[in-house]
A and B are shown apart, each in its own frame.
Chain A
């Protein structure tokens, strides 16, 4: 998808602000991430970073979700949360694309990846 195409998709109109927001935080390039759903009115005024923090600090996670959070935290040890290869600044609406379920229910989707930068061949020293 080109940048221009992406911008078109990223433009959300007023009616879409009434849609639920699905946030998925994915560890690295894993196929699945931690999914959180925010109801309309609960996310528009908050920064995307804050929503991510809230999602990552959720309690009562299933075993699978706990494993994903552990993976995310491993990536964030020296890594960052990025959306489509870009820094996350501003509100979720600036990063959301409109999608719909098979049943035709519309929602806004924001994919976030926890990415650890690759340094290269730097030499490390490890415990003997």
Chain B
């Protein structure tokens, strides 16, 4: 009962096969960075119960969250690097292997194993080259001996110092988990190399005053991303309390059902990272004051609040980073008053949509209907939140981030 309630929002997705996730065993090869830990945490939230990781270290905070989220979750962690073909036997009973490492030797050994034994290999990694930073994800299946493989082999053959970024790692782990889900549910994994790239963020970012409106799944991952990026002056705002059905994606609330989301999120982050974030247990409305903030994150779950956020940000000249998700898609719209952009509400035509929802039609529909919450999963939330935080970093660095419409079912992701 507890399990089905926790997973309720994803069990509502048409064609969803939860037993395929729960009965799977996934092998993961990691490195001395945060990527494998992010993947393990997200896999546990999704209801994957068995993961075997070969990596020198794992992030204790993320692993603790993984274990507290899902009581059936079993992690086998073998400390070390994959340096000899014989180590491939560790993964013999795994459905597939996720390669999140940064050394070419293991990349080649695993692809060779995948080819020889017909085992899928999902490859994901962050990179920094020639003034650019980004990531790549590619799913290798036997028969896909394509040119893309050249792009997913690390430059150095042996373990070495490499680029690590927790925000990009969060996005990569979300995409790799989508690919994992597709393989386990016999859905088509992406045929394309999924890649994301932007200019290297160079300047230190200072401490802008940041308001995060909405402390649900987007708010949780935006909070984590901002803190991992070194932002400290954060205020979370949300009137809601944690429900058990939030726990398939709102990963920090595993022991907080019934508590206020904003306060709990702030407390958890402060306890885990020694930060001093604040909370406002309140609804964002026309009386809310944003004058004292430099950047506002829109992580809410309804168009009405998004319109108010857009209007207030425009009136007060504040940067607004707006994110929205469904179970398979997400959007990130940036409003920067310096560039005089149109607001997210204007760009997305939210006024027209909300105008059609007059109170009369809403109540009339409600009288003849049953309650139907939207399906939701962790992956699109962590991907969308990661891009929101990365967009914030780009803005502060003087770059101009683009609006992003992400679709997990499309070959064109970014």
Q: Please give the residue numbers on chain A whose beta carbons come within 8 Å of chain B beta carbons, in ascending order.
A: 2-3, 28-31, 78-80, 82, 84-87, 113, 115, 117-128
Is the pair A126, B303 in contact by a Cβ cutoff of 8 Å? no
Please, which residues of chain B bring their CB within 8 A of the CB of A31? 410-412
Is the pair A87, B405 in contact by a Cβ cutoff of 8 Å? no
Report the separation of the CA atoms of residues A10 and B185 in the bound assembly, to the nearest whole angstrom.
Answer: 42
Smallest Cβ distance from B301 to chain A, in angstroms?
A: 3
Please, which residues of chain B bring their CB within 8 A of the CB of A85? 333, 402-405
Is the pair B371, A29 in contact by a Cβ cutoff of 8 Å? no
Q: Does B311 contact A (CB under 8 A)?
A: no
Q: Does B302 contact A (CB under 8 A)?
A: yes
Please, which residues of chain B bring their CB within 8 A of the CB of A122? 301-303, 374
Is the pair A80, B349 in contact by a Cβ cutoff of 8 Å? yes
Please, which residues of chain A bring their CB within 8 A of the CB of B400? 2-3
A sample of 12 cross-chain residue pairs with beta-carbon separation below 8 angstroms, ordered by A number, consists of A28-B405, A28-B407, A30-B410, A84-B402, A87-B347, A115-B405, A117-B349, A120-B301, A120-B325, A120-B374, A121-B373, A121-B376
Q: Does B340 contact A (CB under 8 A)?
A: no
Tell me what chain A mostly uses at the interface: helix, strand, loop, or mixed: loop
Is the pair B403, A125 in contact by a Cβ cutoff of 8 Å? no
Is the pair A115, B370 in contact by a Cβ cutoff of 8 Å? no
Of the candidates A30, A118, A124, which one forms a contact with B331 in the assembled complex, judged by CB atoms under 8 Å apart? A118
Is the pair B374, A124 in contact by a Cβ cutoff of 8 Å? yes
Please, which residues of chain A bring their CB within 8 A of the CB of B216? 120-121
Is the pair B369, A128 in contact by a Cβ cutoff of 8 Å? yes
Smallest Cβ distance from B299 to chain A, in angstroms?
A: 8
Report the separation of the CA atoms of residues A28 and B328 in the bound assembly, to the nearest whole angstrom.
Answer: 12
Q: Does B342 contact A (CB under 8 A)?
A: yes
Please, which residues of chain B bring their CB within 8 A of the CB of A121? 9, 216-217, 301, 373-374, 376
Is the pair B405, A119 in contact by a Cβ cutoff of 8 Å? no
Is the pair B331, A117 in contact by a Cβ cutoff of 8 Å? yes
Q: Does B319 contact A (CB under 8 A)?
A: no
